[in-house]
């Protein structure tokens, strides 16, 4: 063996390779998110007296609308999701996998489509249910209708984290309660439920935020209700449409919505921290479903009925609407909407535009998310999640203010060519990407946490540079989470509505705005065709993803 | 306090039979240990007694009442038992005192009585000063003490323990084993203690039931289990005997090409037999086959010699002496047990 002299160049000790990446990503985030938000706050300074706007009767009515529909949605989601999660995760309920799949389906659908389904079912005059049972039996319009539809759409936000927490509870905890004299129900309620409650409550808070930020459903079910039931988001939209005069009021109302979101988020954080107990990591966990005995079949029947009514029925109603020649009349079936929509150049344009934008945004989100996660800076990761927590209406308004012609001119004299974003599709791409950055960062971070680091180390020892080792050994292990990030961003953006209605260049459409316009003003049948096509696309993609991941597993 | 009786109990998961006709009578106040290798059905048996699993066939009665059988199944919460789990199963969202109070609250005891009995139970396991702690602030040994206090506080008819010590490190295991013995002497509760560790079973129990592949091979006092194992399996599992297949011919045991001389006092029946001999019942030298040494392991108080014998390994424990692997040494029997096949 010969001793080698130390003429091999040594790298400096310490991190430093990630610095450039961290800096670039932080600057981009600051420019496209921090700056618009700062400008929104800056605008508020010159706006009319805040309290005057906040306490004007129309504003109070909108606030009440937001509060009632969001609290209602959160309560509804909690009430349905928590018992369901207990049954699915802890008992021998039949059909539990099917129920889980159906109840999580709304997570992949725009809530607007569920809203359309309920309009078709429970419009007081023309809804299918009312045609069958007599006019006025059901009325989906108004605050409670909004709460119900958003509660169904937001149900997965409570169900999924509760299921995750429950599946980390060792069955011996419940069995110890049984031996102590507790009945099965008592064991579930006094042991399993309290352990999963922090997860359920923070999911419920997310559901509240989701409902308070929603725009499409409150617009669909609130604006034309009698009496009209505005919410903060639909009020802000209305003010922005009024142009210059309304903009300051829109800004002040946005701050109100932002404040509400921040309060709920902070409150739920504090609550979750207090009740938190460390659950098993899942290693050596033993799960034995609790036998339900005679209650098994009735409970399964209840679950299936709920799934049918809450999820399947409105989707079927949309499908039926798409083949009804005249809306609101049961006069046979016809394919005229389908052929009309599919051959309409406007639909084709909007579809192509949406597919392109969504694919581009999904690619950007996935790449940037991977970049953010690979810096391993927790603060950057948290920051990249902030745009998702902010109501879309507020984010869109901030972007309008920051990148519309006037403001840009004053602030960025020299770099005007970069910033000609206002009234272009680029603005939508920026908005979609910023809003959904969290999807990319979270999936990539989770994926990186699972990565077997020794594989990259083995590559390094085989002679690969850090970069080469990342591409050859680490990246292949991230395929599944990155694919998931791409798909969820793509599906969310392809029918995105809240940002799109405010940022779309005049005279052009994307699928979301087209759906919105057709449903709200002209042609529910054609809107139903687009919605149906989208639901089919979602189901097909989910099946494909399941098949791909299943085949990969040994 | 109550006795427990299992009669021809069967249990299968799907098509695999896990418990195959177990019958067992446990007297009131008795401490019995179910001993056997992992996967032999001990936990399943215990969980059937607890009511956490249903039987496929057979009956179980506790205190003279049938709790499981053709006539039906009594759910665990109605059996008035206590159970200690291998994984502690201490509820992480309840304090130590709340954990221990739970069975009493479900019995509907008045507040003052609950407080008094919780304090008493915590004193039994020497956790009196930990009442207000949360489980996340306790060590494994303390968690298992909480679980024991919780299982005992409601005066159960029978205390069931499923490998309560196997998640603990060696020193703690020793300590807690002593405490269980002391508690048992003090409270006199009927106890069923499941373990795969022969030392625990032999040290604690009045009687040991050795289980193998879903059946009980032998039930006896620890002394008799150790001294007169009734099957080659029990001899091998308890005391770690070498097991050799061969034939008895006169006073000789022929095993492949090797012949051992049976010492006087070993009852032998002519014909095919299994010979079980503990490592310390063999010695180097004397009259016997000459075997190649595989390895020599220093154990502290003695030295273990491993020999190749056909396709098995023969373990011999004896005083230290010079020997190199590969060298051939004579091995002879000082004592042995023969099981005709
Ligand atoms: N819920 C179950 N489903 C299927 N097989 C099981 C189940 N529980 C235990 N078994 C099997 O039954 C056998 C006996 O298990 P167990 O009673 O836990 O053994 P022990 O406690 O003696 O280690 C094992 O082979 C185990 O894999
Ligand atoms: Mg076991």
Check which CATH number belongs to the domain holding A356 and give it.
1.10.3720.10
Residue A88 has pLDDT above 70, yes or no: yes
Ligand 1: residue whose CA is nearest its atom 7: B13
Closest CA to A389 of A216, A266, A217: A266
A136: exposed, middle or buried (C-beta count within 10 Å: 0-12, 13-18, 19+)? exposed
Residue B15 has pLDDT above 70, yes or no: yes
In a domain, A312, yes or no: no
Residue length of chain A? 554
Which residue in chain B has the smallest CA separation from A192? B91
Mean pLDDT estimate for chain A:
87
Q: Which of B87, B101, B155, B166 to mutate to test the interface with A (most CBs of A within 10 A)?
A: B87
Q: Which of A168, A173, A181 to mutate to test the interface with B (most CBs of B within 10 A)?
A: A181
Residue A6 has pLDDT above 60, yes or no: no
The model's pLDDT over A110-163, given as tens digits with 9 standing for 90+, comes to 999 999 999 999 988 888 888 888 877 889 999 999 999 999 999 999 999 999
Residue B77 has pLDDT above 80, yes or no: yes
In a domain, A185, yes or no: yes
| Gap from CA of A162 to ligand 2 centroid (Å) | 29
Distance CA A318, CA A113 (A): 8
Q: Which fold has domain B4-231?
A: Rossmann fold (3.40.50)
Residue A414 has pLDDT above 70, yes or no: no
Ligand 1: residue whose CA is nearest its atom 12: B18
The model's pLDDT over B144-173, given as tens digits with 9 standing for 90+, comes to 999 999 999 999 999 999 999 998 888 889
- The answer to whether the beta carbons of residues A121 and A140 sit under 8 Å apart is yes
- The C-alpha angle with vertex A432 and arms to A427 and A438, in degrees rounded to 5, equals 140
- Give every CB contact of residue A535 below 8 A, 6+ residues apart in sequence: A109, A113, A315, A318
Walk across the sheet containing B258-261 and list its strands.
B258-261, B252-255, B242-249, B271-277, B337-340
pTM, full prediction: 0.87
Q: Does B164 touch chain A (CB under 8 A)?
A: no
Q: Which of A92, A173, A179, A194 to mutate to test the interface with B (most CBs of B within 10 A)?
A: A179
Look at residues A279, A312, A342 and tell me which one is the last residue of a structural domain: A279
Show the tokens assigned to A160.
Answer: 């999924």
Residue A220 has pLDDT above 70, yes or no: yes
Please indicate whether, in this complex, the C-beta atoms of B89 and A170 are within 8 angstroms of each other: yes
Please give the pLDDT value at position A197. 92
In a domain, A232, yes or no: yes
Which residues partner with A486 through β-bridges?
none
Residue B63 has pLDDT above 70, yes or no: yes
Residue A3 has pLDDT above 60, yes or no: no
C-alpha dihedral sign at A42, A48, A54, A59: negative
Q: What is the best residue among B9, B10, B11, B13 to mutate for testing ligand 1's pocket, by most ligand atoms within 8 Å of CB?
A: B13
Closest CA to A81 of A308, A389, A303, A290: A303
**Cβ neighbours of A191 in B, within 8 Å:** 91
Please give the pLDDT value at position B282. 94
Neighbouring CB atoms inside 10 A of A515's CB total: 28
In a domain, A523, yes or no: yes
Residue A476 has pLDDT above 90, yes or no: no
Residue A283 has pLDDT above 80, yes or no: no
Distance CA B82, CA A180 (A): 7
- B184 CB within 6 A, ligand 1: no
Does an H or E element contain A343, and which? helix A336-343
Q: Does B106 touch chain A (CB under 8 A)?
A: yes
Residue A468 has pLDDT above 60, yes or no: yes
Q: Which of A15-19, A420-424, B290-294 has the lowest mean pLDDT?
A: A15-19
Distance CA B331, CA B318 (A): 11
Q: Which of A83-97, A273-287, A449-463 has the lowest mean pLDDT?
A: A273-287
Residue length of chain B? 341
Range A20-48 average pLDDT: 87
Does an H or E element contain B309, and which? strand B303-309
**pLDDT band per the 50, 70, 90 thresholds, residue A263:** very high
Which residue among A179, A184, A277 places its CB closest to the CB of B83?
A179
Q: What is the best residue among B34, B40, B44, B54 to mutate for testing ligand 1's pocket, by most ligand atoms within 8 Å of CB?
A: B44
Which residue in chain A has the smallest CA separation from B155? A180
The model's pLDDT over B219-228, given as tens digits with 9 standing for 90+, comes to 999 999 999 9
Which residue among A170, A195, A277 places its CB closest to the CB of B87?
A170
Distance CA B236, CA B216 (A): 15
Closest CA to B75 of A175, A281, A389, A494: A175
Distance CA A70, CA A493 (A): 23
Please give the pLDDT value at position A102. 93
Distance CA A543, CA A446 (A): 23
Distance CA B279, CA B49 (A): 37
- B43 CB within 6 A, ligand 1: yes
Please give the pLDDT value at position A275. 67
Please indicate whether, in this complex, the C-beta atoms of B87 and A180 are within 8 angstroms of each other: no
Q: Examine the domain organization and report whether A498 and A467 are in the same domain.
A: yes
Shortest Cα–Cα distance, A295 to chain B (Å): 15
Shortest Cα–Cα distance, B172 to chain A (Å): 21
Which residue among A175, A180, A183 places its CB closest to the CB of B154?
A180
Pairing assessment for the beta strands B258-261 and B271-277 based on DSSP bridges = unpaired
Range B300-316 average pLDDT: 92
Ligand 1: residue whose CA is nearest its atom 26: B39
Q: Which of A170, A177, A180, A280 to mutate to test the interface with B (most CBs of B within 10 A)?
A: A180
Does an H or E element contain A28, and which? helix A19-29
Residue/partner pairs of B125-131 with CB below 8 Å, 24 or more apart? B125/B149, B125/B179, B125/B183, B126/B179, B127/B96, B130/B96, B131/B95, B131/B96, B131/B97
In a domain, A3, yes or no: no
Share of chain B above pLDDT 70, in %: 100
Q: What is the DSSP string of B6-61?
A: EEEEEEEETTEEEEEEEEEEE-TT-EEEEE--TTSSHHHHHHHHHTSS--SEEEEE
The model's pLDDT over B82-132, given as tens digits with 9 standing for 90+, comes to 999 999 999 999 999 999 999 999 999 999 999 999 999 999 999 999 999
- The answer to whether the beta carbons of residues A233 and A226 sit under 8 Å apart is no
Q: Examine the domain organization and report whether A41 and A104 are in the same domain.
A: no
Share of chain A above pLDDT 90, in %: 51
**pLDDT band per the 50, 70, 90 thresholds, residue A418:** very low
SS3 B292: strand
Which residue among A172, A278, A288 places its CB closest to the CB of B87?
A172
Shortest Cα–Cα distance, B162 to chain A (Å): 11
Q: Examine the domain organization and report whether A275 and A361 are in the same domain.
A: no
Residue A2 has pLDDT above 60, yes or no: no
Ligand in closest contact with the CA of A92: 1
- B214 CB within 6 A, ligand 1: no
Please give the pLDDT value at position B13. 94
- B67 CB within 6 A, ligand 1: no
Please indicate whether, in this complex, the C-beta atoms of A177 and B102 are within 8 angstroms of each other: yes
Range A521-550 average pLDDT: 84
Q: Examine the domain organization and report whether A384 and A470 are in the same domain.
A: yes
Residue A407 has pLDDT above 50, yes or no: no
Q: Which fold has domain B241-340?
A: OB fold (Dihydrolipoamide Acetyltransferase, E2P) (2.40.50)
A347: exposed, middle or buried (C-beta count within 10 Å: 0-12, 13-18, 19+)? buried
Please indicate whether, in this complex, the C-beta atoms of B92 and A279 are within 8 angstroms of each other: yes
Q: Which residue has the higher pLDDT, A49 or B22?
A: B22
Please indicate whether, in this complex, the C-beta atoms of B103 and A180 are within 8 angstroms of each other: yes
Q: Which of A166, A176, A288 to mutate to test the interface with B (most CBs of B within 10 A)?
A: A176
Whether the complex's predicted ipTM is more than 0.90 is answered with: no
Share of chain A above pLDDT 70, in %: 91
Range A427-452 average pLDDT: 91
**pLDDT band per the 50, 70, 90 thresholds, residue A551:** low
- B38 CB within 6 A, ligand 1: yes
Please indicate whether, in this complex, the C-beta atoms of B75 and A176 are within 8 angstroms of each other: no
Max CA distance (Å), chain A: 96
In a domain, A9, yes or no: no
Residue A201 has pLDDT above 70, yes or no: yes
| Gap from CA of A337 to ligand 1 centroid (Å) | 59
Look at residues A279, A308, A339 and tell me which one is the last residue of a structural domain: A279
| Gap from CA of B236 to ligand 2 centroid (Å) | 20
**Cβ neighbours of B79 in A, within 8 Å:** 179
Look at residues A279, A311, A340 and tell me which one is the last residue of a structural domain: A279
Q: Examine the domain organization and report whether A344 and A451 are in the same domain.
A: yes
Q: Examine the domain organization and report whether A62 and A42 are in the same domain.
A: no
- The answer to whether the beta carbons of residues A337 and A526 sit under 8 Å apart is yes
Does an H or E element contain A273, and which? helix A247-274
Print the domain residue range for A383. 15-46+331-554
- B40 CB within 6 A, ligand 1: yes
Residue A48 has pLDDT above 70, yes or no: no
Please give the pLDDT value at position A11. 63
Residue A59 has pLDDT above 70, yes or no: yes
Q: Which residue has the higher pLDDT, A508 or B1?
A: A508
**pLDDT band per the 50, 70, 90 thresholds, residue A26:** very high
A351: exposed, middle or buried (C-beta count within 10 Å: 0-12, 13-18, 19+)? buried
SS3 A453: helix
- The C-alpha angle with vertex A191 and arms to A199 and B86, in degrees rounded to 5, equals 110
The total number of structural domains that make up chain A: 2
- B18 CB within 6 A, ligand 1: yes
In a domain, A294, yes or no: no
**pLDDT band per the 50, 70, 90 thresholds, residue A17:** low
Please give the pLDDT value at position A13. 55
Please give the pLDDT value at position A415. 46
**pLDDT band per the 50, 70, 90 thresholds, residue A340:** confident
Distance CA A433, CA A437 (A): 6
Q: Examine the domain organization and report whether A407 and A504 are in the same domain.
A: yes
SS3 B282: strand
Distance CA A276, CA B134 (A): 12
Distance CA A497, CA A508 (A): 14
Please give the pLDDT value at position A1. 47
| Gap from CA of B207 to ligand 1 centroid (Å) | 24
Please indicate whether, in this complex, the C-beta atoms of A277 and B93 are within 8 angstroms of each other: yes
**pLDDT band per the 50, 70, 90 thresholds, residue A454:** confident
Q: Examine the domain organization and report whether A429 and A455 are in the same domain.
A: yes
Closest CA to A215 of A533, A509, A532, A520: A520
User: Counting runs of H as helices and runs of E as strands, what totals does chain B give?
Assistant: 8, 21
Taking CA atoms, A461 is separated from A374, A456, A457, in Å, by: 21, 9, 6
Closest CA to A196 of A173, A176, A167, A175: A167
Which residues partner with B275 through β-bridges?
B244, B338
Show the tokens assigned to B58.
Answer: 């057979």
Q: Examine the domain organization and report whether A480 and A523 are in the same domain.
A: yes
Range A418-431 average pLDDT: 79
Residue A330 has pLDDT above 80, yes or no: no
SS3 B139: coil
Shortest Cα–Cα distance, A230 to chain B (Å): 42
- B47 CB within 6 A, ligand 1: no
Structure-token match 């690979």, residue found: A374
Q: Examine the domain organization and report whether A83 and A127 are in the same domain.
A: yes
Shortest Cα–Cα distance, A174 to chain B (Å): 8
Residue A554 has pLDDT above 50, yes or no: no
Peptide bond into A263 cis (omega under 30): no
Q: Examine the domain organization and report whether A24 and A83 are in the same domain.
A: no
Domain ranges of chain B: 4-231, 241-340
Q: Does B76 touch chain A (CB under 8 A)?
A: yes
Q: Examine the domain organization and report whether A264 and A370 are in the same domain.
A: no
| Gap from CA of B38 to ligand 2 centroid (Å) | 6
| Gap from CA of B85 to ligand 2 centroid (Å) | 10
Shortest Cα–Cα distance, B128 to chain A (Å): 21
Please indicate whether, in this complex, the C-beta atoms of A179 and B91 are within 8 angstroms of each other: no
Closest CA to A428 of A378, A482, A363, A354: A354
Ligand 1: residue whose CA is nearest its atom 5: B13
SS3 A519: helix
Residue B266 has pLDDT above 70, yes or no: yes
In a domain, A140, yes or no: yes
Residue B230 has pLDDT above 50, yes or no: yes
């Amino acid at each position: 063996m010969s001793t080698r002299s130390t003429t091999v160049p040594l790298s400096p000790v310490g991190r430093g390779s990630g610095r450039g990446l961290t800096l670039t990503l932080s600057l981009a985030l600051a420019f496209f998110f921090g700056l618009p938000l700062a400008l929104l706050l800056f605008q508020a300074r010159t706006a009319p007296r805040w309290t005057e706007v906040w306490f004007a009767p129309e504003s109070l009515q909108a606030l009440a609308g937001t509060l009632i529909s969001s609290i209602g949605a959160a309560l509804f989601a909690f009430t349905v999701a928590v018992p369901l999660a207990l049954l699915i995760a802890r008992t021998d309920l039949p059909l539990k996998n099917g129920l889980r799949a159906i109840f999580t389906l709304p997570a992949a659908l725009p809530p607007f489509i569920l809203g359309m389904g309920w309009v078709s079912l429970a419009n007081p005059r023309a809804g299918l249910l009312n045609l069958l049972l007599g006019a006025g039996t059901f009325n989906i319009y108004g605050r409670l209708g909004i709460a119900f539809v958003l509660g169904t759409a937001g149900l997965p936000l409570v169900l999924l984290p509760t299921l995750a927490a429950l599946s980390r509870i060792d069955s011996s905890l419940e069995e110890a309660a049984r031996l102590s004299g507790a009945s099965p129900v008592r064991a579930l309620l006094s042991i399993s439920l309290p352990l999963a409650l922090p997860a359920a409550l923070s999911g419920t808070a997310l559901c509240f935020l989701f409902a308070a930020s929603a725009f499409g459903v409150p617009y669909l079910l609130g604006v034309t209700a009698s009496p009209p039931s505005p919410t903060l988001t639909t009020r802000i939209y209305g003010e922005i449409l009024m142009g210059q005069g309304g903009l300051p009021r829109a800004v002040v109302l946005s701050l109100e919505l932002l404040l509400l979101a921040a309060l709920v988020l902070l409150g739920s954080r504090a609550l979750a921290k207090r009740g938190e107990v460390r659950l098993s990591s899942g290693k050596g966990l033993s799960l034995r479903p609790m036998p339900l005995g005679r209650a098994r079949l009735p409970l399964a029947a209840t679950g299936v009925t709920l799934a049918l009514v809450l999820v399947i029925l409105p989707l079927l109603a949309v499908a039926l609407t798409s083949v009804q020649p005249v809306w609101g009349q049961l006069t046979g079936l016809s394919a005229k909407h389908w052929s009309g929509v599919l051959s309409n150049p406007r639909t084709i344009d909007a579809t192509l535009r949406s597919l392109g934008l969504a694919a581009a945004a999904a690619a950007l989100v996935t790449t940037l998310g991977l970049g953010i996660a690979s810096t391993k800076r927790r603060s950057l990761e948290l920051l990249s999640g902030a745009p998702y927590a902010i109501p879309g209406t507020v984010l869109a308004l901030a972007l309008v203010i920051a990148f519309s012609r006037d403001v840009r001119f004053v602030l960025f004299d020299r770099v005007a060519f970069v910033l000609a974003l206002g009234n272009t599709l680029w603005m939508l791409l920026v908005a979609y990407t910023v809003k959904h950055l969290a999807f990319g960062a979270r999936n990539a971070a989770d994926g990186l946490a699972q990565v077997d680091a020794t594989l990259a180390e083995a590559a390094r020892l085989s002679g690969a540079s850090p970069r080469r080792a990342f591409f050859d050994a680490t990246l292949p292990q991230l395929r599944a989470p990155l694919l998931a990030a791409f798909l969820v961003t793509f599906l969310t953006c392809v029918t995105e509505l809240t940002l799109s209605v405010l940022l779309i260049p005049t005279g052009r459409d994307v699928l979301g705005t087209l759906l919105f316009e057709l449903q709200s003003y002209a042609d529910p049948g054609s809107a139903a065709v687009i919605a149906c096509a989208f639901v089919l696309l979602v189901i097909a993609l989910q099946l494909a993803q399941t098949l791909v991941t299943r085949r990969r597993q040994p | 306090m109550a006795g427990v009786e299992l009669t021809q109990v069967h249990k299968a998961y799907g098509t695999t039979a896990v418990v195959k006709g177990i019958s067992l009578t446990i007297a009131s106040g008795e401490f019995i240990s179910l001993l056997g290798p992992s996967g032999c059905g001990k936990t399943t048996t215990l969980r059937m007694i607890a009511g956490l699993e249903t039987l496929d066939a057979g009956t179980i009665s506790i205190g003279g009442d049938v709790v499981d059988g053709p006539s039906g199944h009594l759910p665990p919460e109605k059996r008035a038992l206590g159970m200690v789990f291998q994984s502690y199963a201490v509820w992480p969202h309840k304090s130590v005192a709340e954990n221990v109070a739970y069975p009493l609250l479900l019995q509907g005891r008045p507040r003052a009585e609950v407080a008094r009995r919780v304090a008493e139970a915590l004193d039994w396991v020497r956790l009196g000063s930990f009442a207000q702690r949360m489980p996340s602030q306790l060590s494994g040994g303390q968690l298992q003490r909480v679980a024991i206090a919780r299982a005992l506080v409601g005066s159960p008819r029978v205390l069931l323990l499923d490998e309560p010590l196997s998640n603990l490190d060696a020193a703690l295991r020793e300590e807690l084993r002593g405490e269980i013995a002391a508690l048992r002497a003090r409270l006199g509760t009927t106890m069923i203690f499941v373990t795969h560790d022969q030392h625990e079973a032999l040290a604690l129990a009045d009687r040991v039931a050795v289980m193998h592949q879903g059946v009980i091979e032998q039930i006896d006092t620890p002394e008799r289990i150790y001294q007169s194992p009734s099957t080659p399996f029990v001899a091998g599992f308890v005391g770690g005997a070498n097991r050799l297949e061969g034939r008895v011919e006169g006073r000789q045991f022929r095993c492949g090409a090797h012949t051992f001389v049976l010492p006087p006092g070993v009852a032998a029946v002519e014909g095919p037999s299994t010979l079980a001999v503990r490592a310390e019942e063999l010695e180097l030298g004397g009259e016997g086959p000459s075997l190649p040494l595989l390895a020599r392991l220093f154990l502290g108080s003695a030295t273990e010699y491993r020999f190749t014998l056909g396709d098995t390994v023969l373990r011999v424990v004896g005083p230290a002496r010079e020997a190199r692997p590969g060298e051939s040494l004579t091995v002879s029997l000082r004592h042995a047990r023969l099981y005709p096949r």
